Structure 1
Amino acid sequence: MFFSRVFRKSVFMCCLLILFTTLIGYSATPSPVVVVQIKGEIDGGQAALLHRAMLEAKRQQARAVIVEIDTFGGLVNSAVNIRDLMIESQVETICYIKNRAWSAGALIALSHKHIAIAPGGSIGAAEPIPTTEKTVAALKAEFAATANRTGRNPRVAEAMVDKSLGLTGYAEPGQILALTDYQAIQVGYADVVAEDRANLLKHYGLQDAPIIEFTPEWPEKLAGLLSNPTVQSALVSIIFLAIMTEIKTAGLSGAGFVAIAAAALLFGSQWLTGLAGFVEILLFAGGIILIIVELFVPGAGFFGIAGLIAILVSIFLVLGGDVQAFSNMSISLIAAVILFLFIAKHLPNSKFWSRFILKETETTQAGYVSANDYKTYLNKTGVAETYLRPAGTVLIEDARLDVVSEGIFIKPGTKVIVIAVQGNRIVVRPIE
């Protein structure tokens, strides 16, 4: 008993020691800082990269996420996706403007809790293209709301988008606002001018934290390609063209698989960015299901029309759900119709298509026949082998033939003559 108690106490003390050592080691490991570099045009690839980095920052319980940005701008919808990621982040976010954060890049910078800027850096110049009253109003509201959310002067953000406003001391009315490094400090749009990353980390007390740096990998690069408006329009055209081809060929061309593959790429760009819209995907899948139901459960076209509308709405939403999306869809549909008509008219007669079809034909002029030619028995005589009532069998030149009489009854052994041949129908008459 004594040794048993001693053994249990020893095991208990060892477990406590291991747990204590683990906790000490865990607490001694400093939380990392996640660094992401955004260079060049803002697109879906950048949004995918930021999404992956933010997930890792949350998993690692990072002290901060630093986004080093150098861009002239890019796609507004991608910038808005990044903006939402930064605004909703529970991890401290710092934007380091290394050279410039213009246009969509300015919106991304404003979404961070802290902004640092390199000497000679600038932020602003966010006038939308095309510059219409609607686009200016929408983007101005987005900038103002973002600045207000992060505790900055919304009036300054609005002047970056709407040149009619101006900003006293920095831009006259009619001039779009862009702030230099020292100007950004003056208006509260930057915390510090940092020469490099080391100075930046020191300013925010992160100099001792381990760095986890994120660079684009193949999913982000593919997402960037698929988020390009030209590529998306091409995919939409392929979907429309494949659907029309499938209808024309009654489902025998395999074009349906092409449409599904193009749709997978179009919607896959949303998944790659980590910002997939379930509504769009469910609408598209529901549309496909409704069309299939129409094929097996006829409903006077109701299911087919509903499915087509669902597919069109899903594509409209995945393209942005705005006037530009409607314009892109219309252009893609027109391009698909023109290409379809061109192919339908010229492909069957082209040299390329002739390689895939059988060119040889078996004609009567060339000596080919589809059945036996009984016209050779016309006006020939023979003997009835069976009763003709009126059909029966006649022997003509050692050939047994199925014949019919003119409607009269003919006994076996009666001599007959062929008076007419119509295809494989041989008509005979008894010889008087």
Structure 2
Amino acid sequence: MLLERKILRVRASVLFFVLIFSGTAYAAGPVVHIISVSGTVEPGMAAYLKRVVSSLEKDESAILVFAMNTFGGRVDAAFDIVETICTVPRQRTIAYVEKKAISAGTLIALSAGSLIMKENTLIGDCAPMIQTSEGHKEAGEKTQTVLRAQFRTLAKRNNYSQVLAESMVSKSMEVYKITRGTHSEYMDKTQWQELSEKEKKKITGKSTIVSQGELLTMDDKEAFELGFSRQSVTTLDQALGVLGYGSCKKVYITENWSENFVRWIQPFLPILMILGIGAVYTEIKAPGFGIPGLVGIICLGLVFFNQYLVGLANYTEILVFIIGFLLLGMEMFVLPGFGMAGISAIIVLAAGLVLSFQDFVLPDPSLPWQSNLMINNLGLVMGSAFGALVVSMSVVRFALPKLSKVIKGPYLDATLQDSHAESTEASGICAGDQGISLTTLRPSGKVRIRDRKVDAVTQGNFIDPATPVRVAQITAGHIIVETIMEKREK
């Protein structure tokens, strides 16, 4: 019995240490962080991914899996996201195309060290588009050149075909698959034409992969065949198994409430700007401080708070706005009329609004879309200001007068045109009262009536001082007097 107890104790001790060491090994192993990349690519998404990646980039055990489901969006936001992802060693980043990664989403997906796609998903078609008066149009060669350079950089980083990567951007490219014995490679039409006849004779096969006038867009099987995707899978767990992380701990990361709110409110910023500017204008035109002023502060505050959270507005924009409001206050309360202070205030406030919608002051010539973005921001601010002016003038002209019919008064419904008090009535003087002239009346002067010194006029004749007078009549507040002698003669 004693021997059996000792054996059981030894077994329990061994099991205890095994559990401890296995738990320690599991805890020290890689942890897979599943990061949702869903919706429109815009500054809110860039801020969210920057927060997540910054918190994990120094953790060497963290594997970052970007679950892609986006049709794309803004080029500047996509470039910011690519820069953020590239701060992490490529062996720790994976792009998993869960549904689609189109346009700017393709750029983000190719920035990860590995790409794996779910069955029946798509990737590609990254032609840059700009908004014109005639609608959306493909951006010019200047913009496409920058994008192609970025795609080449990512292709070199992750061992993809550079030509195929570039063909996702420009329709002018025609790409062939060239076979030389057992070796295959991809080249565009220009490279093919530059080959010598001797080199062309060595080629055993040639097929067109991307025709001129088309953009490379791939499903999961085509992406695998062309060397982009590691494999087509049916689930995320299968994808992790293919990459060697099937048994690792998984942590799912999504946007927090503030990031959700920022992305939700982004489309409504022009409306908030119109309401905010209009409400402030209405408050300036109305006496005191009331509901319009509070509404204006809340709306403009939401605009600046949103832009601050996505990293576009910072202390520079806040300082610009403070200067603008100081100039506006100087124009309103210090300087008369409307002059340089008012014009300067308008320019400074407009500049602050424009800067809060972009992460640069002046466009970089090497990034052509920044010029288009600045023009769009100027149009947004000017359009919002004009809309605010129309709305606020309509409120002051039509809404405020009707407010008195809804809110209980008291209110003055009649004018004061006939409401005046006669000074003579207030003093108790009436026709027939007698007094004495104090000054010469030529024909106006001073008289004393009932111990009161008042102004009086005659009917044309002069009256000397110390002459007894009588009030003949009172007209429109004027006391008309005559001498008592004149009264007797009449």
TM-score (norm 2): 0.67
Among residues 216, 228, 234, which one is paired with 1:189 in the alignment?
A: 228
Equivalent in the alignment of 2:173: 165
Shift of 1:277: 4.5
| Deviation, structure 1 residue 160 | 1.9
Cα deviation for residue 30 of structure 1 reads 4.0
The 1-side partners of 2:235 and 2:248 are apart by 16
Alignment-derived partner of residue 336 in structure 1 = 388
Larger Rg: 2
Counterpart in 1 of 2:200? none
Q: Work out the CA distance in 2 between the residues paired with 1:59 and 1:373.
A: 92
- SS class of match (2:224): helix
Letter in 2 for 1:117: M
Hey, what does 2:153 align to over in structure 1?
148
Between the aligned partners of 1:345 and 1:114, the Cα distance in structure 2 is 62
- How many angstroms apart in 2 are the aligned matches of 1:147 and 1:211? 32
Two-structure CA RMSD over aligned residues (Å): 3.9
Q: Report how far residue 420 of structure 1 moved.
A: 4.5
Structure 1 residues 76, 238: CA separation in 2 closer, same or farther (over 3 Å shift)?
Answer: farther
Match of 1:355 in 2: 406
In structure 1, give the amino acid aligned to 2:230: D
How do residues 236-315 of structure 1 correspond to structure 2 at under 5 angstroms? 236-246=273-283, 248-249=285-286, 255=292, 257-274=294-311, 276-295=313-332, 298=335, 301-315=339-353
The aligned length equals 396
Does residue 465 of structure 2 align to residue 409 of structure 1? yes
Matched with 1:346 is 398
Gaps of 5+ in 1: 1-20
Higher mean C-alpha displacement, 170-179 vs 368-377: 368-377
Local SS of the residue matching 2:413: coil
Q: 1:294 and 1:160, CA in 2 relative to 1: closer, same or farther beyond 3 A? A: same
Equivalent in the alignment of 1:12: none
Aligned equivalent of 2:213, options 159, 170, 174: 174
Q: 1:45 touches 1:222 (CA, 8 Å); kept in 2?
A: no
Map of 1:374 onto structure 2:
425
- State the percentage of identical aligned residues: 22
**Cα offset for 1:54?**
2.0
1:232 paired residue among 265, 269, 288 = 269
- Structure 1 residues 213 and 318 mapped into 2: Cα distance closer, same or farther (>3 Å)? same
Amino acid at match of 1:409: P
* Greater Cα shift, 248-257 or 69-78: 248-257
In structure 2, runs of 5+ residues without a counterpart are: 1-19, 177-207, 359-372, 440-444, 458-462, 486-490
Cα distance in 1 between the residues matched to 2:300 and 2:210: 46
Counterpart for residue 84 of structure 2: 85
| Counterpart in the other structure of 1:104 | 104
* Equivalent pair of 1:37/1:68 in contact (CA under 8 Å): yes
Question: Following TM superposition, by how much is the alpha carbon of 1:124 offset from its aligned partner in structure 2, in angstroms?
Answer: 0.8
C-alpha separation in 2, matches of 1:203 and 1:343: 64
